[in-house]
């Protein structure tokens, strides 16, 4: 071959197929026949009426708001699946996307939003269930009391004494000051 570029190689192949390639003879029941004659006698099938049934399948992690992302949009799933990995399947040529569990069970099927629209697609049932979960987390109880500043216990003072003995007199921690402040009910600020 004398071709040095990809386009030269393609031209050389096309010339071979149209010339010597088609002129080659093959054996048949009726006698020798050329490749070109065989190709002319072979009918092509009609084009299919619908696209090839290919399915796009991707794995996604469920967000805290009970949604999964797909092609620039988010689609709802039942609450309680946050952090789990689900499979989304879109059969090309259809207007739906299906969300499957790890076991392969279809959890929900959504109408496909235009790619990249930034749309949140949520079913009415998922919206109601998510609202119920969020509202059930609210409470009318008083907030937790602030943690009091307690003086160190006997164990902590013993450990501090060991550290002071090991490190020497240049390190100074006055735990008695904390105990004094705790006895008066004042919080230590330093």
Render pLDDT for 104-119 as a digit per residue (tens, 0 to 9).
999 999 999 999 999 9
pLDDT at 49 over 80: yes
Mean pLDDT of 16-37: 81
What is the C-alpha to C-alpha distance for residues 90 and 68, in angstroms, rounded to an integer?
14
Mean pLDDT for all residues in the chain: 86
What is the C-alpha to C-alpha distance for residues 123 and 106, in angstroms, rounded to an integer?
15
What is the C-alpha to C-alpha distance for residues 121 and 68, in angstroms, rounded to an integer?
10
**Is 2.60.40 the CATH number for 55-136?**
no
Residue 20 banded pLDDT, cuts 50, 70, 90: confident
Render pLDDT for 132-155 as a digit per residue (tens, 0 to 9).
998 888 888 888 887 778 888 899
Mean pLDDT of 39-53: 83
From residue 37, alpha-carbon distances to 3, 18, 70, 130 in Å are: 29, 12, 50, 68
Write down the pLDDT at residue 175: 75
Instruction: Give domain limits for the chain.
Output: 6-41, 55-136, 154-184
What is the C-alpha to C-alpha distance for residues 141 and 82, in angstroms, rounded to an integer?
27
Residue 2 banded pLDDT, cuts 50, 70, 90: confident
Nearest one of 76, 63, 59, 65 to 110, comparing CA atoms? 76
The reported pTM is 0.51
Write down the pLDDT at residue 190: 46
Mean pLDDT of 72-81: 95
- Concatenated DSSP letters of 64-83: TTSEEEETTEEEE--TT-TT
């Amino acid at each position: 071959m004398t071709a040095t570029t990809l386009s030269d190689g393609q031209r050389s192949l096309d010339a071979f197929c149209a010339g010597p390639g088609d002129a080659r003879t093959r054996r048949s029941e009726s006698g020798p026949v050329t490749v070109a004659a065989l190709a002319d006698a072979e009918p092509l099938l009609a084009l299919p009426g619908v696209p090839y049934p290919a399915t796009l399948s991707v794995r996604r992690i469920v967000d805290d708001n009970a949604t999964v992302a797909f092609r620039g949009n988010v689609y709802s799933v039942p609450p309680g699946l946050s952090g789990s990995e689900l499979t989304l399947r879109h059969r090309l040529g259809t207007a739906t996307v299906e969300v499957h569990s790890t076991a392969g069970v279809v959890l929900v099927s959504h109408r496909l939003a235009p790619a990249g629209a930034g749309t949140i697609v949520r079913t009415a049932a998922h919206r109601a269930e998510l609202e119920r979960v969020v509202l059930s987390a609210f409470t009318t109880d008083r907030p937790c009391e602030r943690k009091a500043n307690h003086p160190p216990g006997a164990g902590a003072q013993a450990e501090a004494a060991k550290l002071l003995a090991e490190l020497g007199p240049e390190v100074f921690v006055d735990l008695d000051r904390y105990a004094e402040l705790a006895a008066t009910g004042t919080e230590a600020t330093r």
